[in-house]
Structure 1
């Protein structure tokens, strides 16, 4: 066995294992979102995650990967690699194309899962399936090509190591567009515009989901090296841990001293915000700056949550504050704190300018394409559930499940698949 063969084998094992860690994050999304929504919509949340994994994976296999990583066409789009076939030697990876595709497929599933939470409890399940096709085939792959697939933003020098911009800011602004397009849940805001609280169904479940996401994030960030012998892996892991801890601690202390109680949903989302914030710069910033990035991410998440409420925008799980706002900050933080060419560290404005331009482009792209896509879908299938479906719950309306946590006697098959509002 040659050293080259051994190195390739180690890289393959590393990438496959970290891809599996990222895929486990879907379990985290499922538990987090199910815990934040009401009981009558728990199964619907789980089913949307399965749509992400099943439909999203197939769409990325058929076309998304090619548009993202195919041979570049004028910096705008990939042109080959459909069904992972054809000439792909330009990728120039030590691992096989199949291995590389698996890792990237795990990323695309994470993007669409961000949108899922923002429209929880009121989106038509069939319309959601169509949106998943749009996101995983076009919206994310084309944006990803611009930064990671030899596209124009990457050529300009934009730095986004594991996706604060490409995944989280893009996904977060797509989530904002979807939440605004579909409107708030019935009863979320009073006629005077005052926000009411929809009590989460299971915060312990949501916290377990957050822990799974935290675990998977080490695969998300460190796995993006695509190299088992990369000397940065340990550093990437520690700044990921520090930023997440800082984001959660900041939210914990802020709510404790501001409201005289430590708010569990805020602490959960604060930790996730810290993870999002460090994703772009995990390979570029030092330990001390990672703590600062996490702390600011936690504060921005809380501020953005209040901003949404004041604007009458309903985001049941905080997808926009956690992913979009923290992702924006994390992307700009690279331009500020990157060890080699950050504004604070080296006095250079160049990288910060590129980061700002790329961020604006990706946010507008995600928001605009999502809004336009949902309008097209709405011409064919109503994007929003009916008032009756929302009132009785999407579990029974779309999946025939009366209650996720209750045992029932045997039902006839025709009763199980009916959509009657009966127990």
Structure 2
């Protein structure tokens, strides 16, 4: 009798034990996904650093490297001090979360309750690296003439307050999320936010000396290292698999694994489409293929697909990226005509294609609405324009945001940090530098 009771008890316990094991395994896999994909997104910081280092003049390379690594440090600290809770804690359909330090709470999981789905710290880490990416967009656009500490002060406000508040509207369960606005991995929430911040900064800061002639001529400033810029693009392309793939936010079941696979393939094809379309259009327009336009075309495709990489077919993803590549080629001379000096093409890639990618979501996602997507783009754009303009202007009229004309001519490396990236090379001034006349492919010697 006793043996029978034990047998029956074991039979009854097996399903519950299996369910507990499945829940724990799902918890582990989801946590693992957040951490690994977060590392890939962090790797994008290196991509931004290398891309920008290759596209600025040699006299500003060390400064751009310092800016890219220090802004990541600022993003990490500010997202811990205020950003995460402001973005996620108690938004509940509103406009803002709560103020306060973030701290992990995994007590339930340690007691065997895996209902949370993943470790709290893994989620924080994944969200933090996105915050840093938004700030990296600004760095290259305002390069070669902005003061180091003024830029870093701006990063404090952007990563600690501006980015988390607008992020709360969608990813934190805020009012735009309630309306049905969708942005899978951040075409708007990350890329166009960085783009709007860069736009206001570039306008308030002004163009580099000699960039625009009185006769309307655009003087090309060739970059210091095209191989380095190409390496940066490859690193960003690779990191984007974590950016978009990790935004599935799960890897604990077959459906999530399939979705992640589709997202990564669509991400790759969009980059391919953007690069090839940009190369073809540049060849048609200027009779030569510009390397930097090919690089920015790939990045344009990546930004374009980021808002909705899960729903398009492979062909649709390629076309969405291709439109992004075309937009970049057209947007670069457009900003130059407005005399808005964007050193690395960040506005064309991240702002223009961020908007395009967000508005393109309903093309392949029947649950999304063009009207709602438009409302989201406009409201977030307006919020970021106002808040970043105020921040830039406060900095301009207090500590100043631009180096002196003499320091700009000397280079920020010598003037700001007293160290050059290429100390063994003699700086030479080259008149009549070659370049495709009529548009600025970000760069100078």
TM-score norm. by structure 1 comes to 0.91
Number of paired residues?
Answer: 396
- Secondary structure of the residue aligned to 1:122 is coil
Contact 1:246 1:294 in 2 (8 A): yes
| CA deviation map 1:35-75 (0-9, x unaligned) | 00000000110111112111121011100111101111661
Aligned to 2:341: 314
User: Residues 223, 88 of structure 1: CA spacing in aligned structure 2 closer, same or farther, 3 A cutoff?
Assistant: farther
User: Residues 99, 87 of structure 1: CA spacing in aligned structure 2 closer, same or farther, 3 A cutoff?
Assistant: closer
1:406: how far off?
A: 2.8
User: Residues 115, 133 of structure 1: CA spacing in aligned structure 2 closer, same or farther, 3 A cutoff?
Assistant: same
Aligned to 2:29: 10
- The CA distance in 1 between the partners of 2:183 and 2:302, in whole Å, is 14
- Secondary structure of the residue aligned to 2:315 is helix
- The CA distance in 1 between the partners of 2:129 and 2:121, in whole Å, is 13
- The CA distance in 2 between the partners of 1:197 and 1:99, in whole Å, is 44
Instruction: Tell me which moved more, 99-108 or 5-14.
Output: 5-14
Aligned to 2:367: 341
Give the counterpart of 1:258 among 285, 290, 300: 285
| Structure 2: 5+ residue stretches without partners | 1-19, 109-114, 426-445
Report the RMSD for the aligned CA atoms in angstroms: 1.7
Contact 1:174 1:370 in 2 (8 A): yes
Aligned ranges 1:42-191 → 2 under 5 Å: 42-72=61-91, 75-79=94-98, 82-84=101-103, 93-191=116-214
1:11: how far off?
A: 1.3
1:380: how far off?
A: 2.1
- The CA distance in 1 between the partners of 2:211 and 2:291, in whole Å, is 20
Of the two, which has the highest radius of gyration? 2
- The CA distance in 2 between the partners of 1:241 and 1:62, in whole Å, is 35
1:85: how far off?
A: 5.8
- The CA distance in 1 between the partners of 2:139 and 2:407, in whole Å, is 18
| Structure 1: 5+ residue stretches without partners | 343-350, 409-423
Contact 1:123 1:384 in 2 (8 A): yes
Instruction: Tell me which moved more, 229-238 or 73-82.
Output: 73-82
Aligned to 1:345: none
- The CA distance in 1 between the partners of 2:289 and 2:74, in whole Å, is 39
- Secondary structure of the residue aligned to 1:78 is coil
TM-score norm. by structure 2 comes to 0.86
- Secondary structure of the residue aligned to 1:84 is coil
Contact 1:335 1:353 in 2 (8 A): no
- The CA distance in 1 between the partners of 2:198 and 2:170, in whole Å, is 21
Aligned to 2:275: 248
- Secondary structure of the residue aligned to 2:102 is helix
- The CA distance in 1 between the partners of 2:327 and 2:43, in whole Å, is 27
1:191: how far off?
A: 2.0
- Secondary structure of the residue aligned to 1:77 is coil
Contact 1:335 1:352 in 2 (8 A): yes
- The CA distance in 2 between the partners of 1:258 and 1:88, in whole Å, is 61
Aligned to 2:422: 405
Contact 1:170 1:365 in 2 (8 A): no
- The CA distance in 1 between the partners of 2:193 and 2:45, in whole Å, is 18
Aligned to 1:303: 330
- The CA distance in 1 between the partners of 2:99 and 2:201, in whole Å, is 30
1:38 aligns with 2:38: no
Give the counterpart of 2:382 among 364, 370, 386: 364
User: Residues 16, 74 of structure 1: CA spacing in aligned structure 2 closer, same or farther, 3 A cutoff?
Assistant: closer
- The CA distance in 2 between the partners of 1:18 and 1:151, in whole Å, is 25
Moved over 3 A (4+): 85-89
Aligned to 2:306: 279
1:258: how far off?
A: 2.3
Aligned to 2:6: none
User: Residues 289, 84 of structure 1: CA spacing in aligned structure 2 closer, same or farther, 3 A cutoff?
Assistant: same
- The CA distance in 2 between the partners of 1:224 and 1:288, in whole Å, is 21
1:322: how far off?
A: 0.1
- Secondary structure of the residue aligned to 1:234 is helix
1:398: how far off?
A: 1.3
- The CA distance in 2 between the partners of 1:264 and 1:282, in whole Å, is 26
Contact 2:186 2:306 in 1 (8 A): yes
